[in-house]
């Protein structure tokens, strides 16, 4: 397997944090060119801070972390402290990071990286609202054709919504940005709630993280404990979905996931269904396919991979 160059665009978030750790633990498969923070789960000042905390936790203060957009393209920011806590990484006690934030804007980093690297060699991995990616595409349309693939967490079809009855959080926060990305013409792979709600943590998984006997294992277990409480109460499930690590797991083990290459459009007009991912799963329209929309995951394989990789850190 060739090593994929990736840019992680993220709004940490406990599940974003686990995704970043998984990527940094997997150098045989992915090379992290940089991490761009975006406003989402919590405001930008916290997401860029949290991204640096996670890099330091992984022993990688050399990773370049950039602050990107602090608000959606044309709407007021909606955040998710009710899920992730006040800091976005509530759970364990964490010190402020000491590694620097890069001076360059996250959007400019994305543009420059895509212009510098060979065409078709950089995969974008958005784990939050798509504001940074859409802004980069609008500011520098020449970079779009250079993108190898966009593998993102967002949307839902059978699960419909989590922040509203009709929409998943990442797409709901900035539907106009999502519409730009889904319309960009490059290969897109989507990890919707339909997949992530099949990758639920269990008590043995969390114990497995703790049993690593490492700081990373302890932190991931504590984050999971915190993160789970919301979903357990809401869904009555035994655990919580680890949404964002599905994106990185796909890059490492695509065989764990299955889905359909279909048309996916984003609702931007309706207040009622704002941010809905209108996925033509049953192929009832003639609209051209623009995304591989995943529908299933081998959850045991996913957690085995996650545990094996996190234990390396």
192 binds Ca ion (CB under 5 A): no
Question: Near ligand BDR by CB under 6 A, which window of 24-32, 107-115, 163-171, 231-239?
Answer: 163-171
Q: Answer left, alpha or beta for residue 213, where phi above 0 means left and psi between -120 and 50 means alpha.
A: left
Rounded Cα distance between 133 and 170, Å, is: 13
Question: Which of residues 13, 97, 175, 192 is near Ca ion by CB under 5 A?
Answer: 13
Question: Which of residues 9, 168, 231, 267 is near ligand BDR by CB under 6 A?
Answer: 168
Question: Which of residues 109, 137, 157, 169 is near ligand BDR by CB under 6 A?
Answer: 169
> Which 176-235 residues touch ligand BDR, going by CB under 6 A?
none
Residues 6+ apart with CB under 8 A from 246: 153, 191, 195, 196, 199, 257, 294, 297, 302
Tokens of 62: 């050399």
Binding mask 125-154 for ligand BDR (x = CB under 6 A): --xx------------------------x-
Size of the site for Ca ion (CB under 5 A): 6
Question: Near Ca ion by CB under 5 A, which window of 60-68, 85-93, 136-144, 238-246?
Answer: 238-246
170 binds ligand BDR (CB under 6 A): yes
Rounded Cα distance between 123 and 142, Å, is: 16
Question: Which of residues 20, 39, 83, 222 is near ligand BDR by CB under 6 A?
Answer: 83
Report what 295 binds from Ca ion, ligand BDR, none; CB cut-off 5-8 Å by kind.
none
CA nearest to 152, candidates 260, 80, 244, 61: 244
Rounded Cα distance between 99 and 21, Å, is: 16
Smallest gap from Cβ 171 to ligand BDR, in A, equals 9
Question: Which long-range contacts does 280-289 make (Cβ < 8 Å, 24+ apart)?
Answer: 281/157, 281/158, 287/263, 288/263, 289/261, 289/262, 289/263
C-beta separation of 187 from 293 below 8 A:
no
128 binds Ca ion (CB under 5 A): yes
> Which 13-32 residues touch ligand BDR, going by CB under 6 A?
13, 15-16
243 is catalytic: yes
C-beta separation of 78 from 47 below 8 A:
no
Catalytic residue among 84, 197, 205, 243: 243
Q: Any alpha helices (H) in the chain, and if so which ranges?
A: 14-24, 44-57, 81-84, 106-116, 131-139, 169-173, 175-182, 193-196, 203-211, 215-235, 245-252, 299-310
Nearer of residues 11 and 280 to Ca ion, judged by Cβ:
11
Which residues contribute to the site for ligand BDR (CB under 6 A)?
A: 13, 15-16, 41, 80, 83, 127-128, 153, 162, 168-170, 243-244
Which residues contribute to the site for Ca ion (CB under 5 A)?
A: 11, 13, 16, 127-128, 244
Would you name the residues annotated as active-site residues? 243
């Amino acid at each position: 397997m060739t090593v994929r160059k990736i840019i992680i665009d993220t709004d940490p978030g406990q599940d974003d944090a686990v995704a970043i750790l998984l990527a940094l633990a997997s150098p045989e498969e992915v090379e992290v060119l940089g991490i761009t923070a975006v406003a989402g789960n919590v405001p930008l000042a916290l997401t860029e801070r949290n991204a640096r905390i996670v890099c330091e936790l992984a022993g990688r203060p050399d990773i370049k972390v950039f602050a990107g957009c602090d608000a959606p393209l044309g709407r007021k920011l909606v955040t998710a402290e009710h899920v992730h806590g006040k800091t976005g990484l509530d759970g364990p006690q964490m010190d402020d990071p000491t590694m620097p934030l890069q001076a360059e804007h996250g959007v400019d980093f994305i543009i420059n990286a895509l212009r510098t690297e060979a065409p078709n060699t950089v995969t974008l991995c958005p784990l939050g609202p798509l504001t940074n990616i859409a802004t980069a595409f609008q500011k520098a349309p020449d970079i779009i054709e250079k993108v190898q693939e966009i593998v993102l967490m967002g949307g839902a079809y059978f699960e419909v919504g989590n922040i509203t009855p009709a929409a998943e959080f990442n797409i709901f926060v900035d539907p106009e940005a999502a519409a730009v990305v889904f319309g960009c013409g490059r290969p897109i792979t989507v990890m919707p709630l339909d997949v992530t709600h099949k990758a639920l943590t269990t008590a043995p998984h969390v114990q497995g993280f703790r049993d690593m006997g490492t700081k990373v294992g302890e932190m991931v277990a504590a984050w999971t404990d915190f993160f789970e409480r919301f979903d357990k109460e809401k869904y009555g499930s035994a655990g919580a979905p680890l949404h964002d690590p599905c994106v990185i797991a796909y890059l490492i083990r695509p065989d764990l996931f299955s889905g359909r290459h279909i048309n996916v459009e984003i609702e931007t007009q309706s207040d009622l269904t704002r941010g809905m991912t209108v996925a033509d799963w049953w192929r009832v329209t003639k609209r051209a396919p623009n995304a591989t929309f995943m529908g299933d995951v081998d959850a045991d394989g996913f957690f085995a991979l996650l545990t094996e990789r996190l234990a390396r850190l």
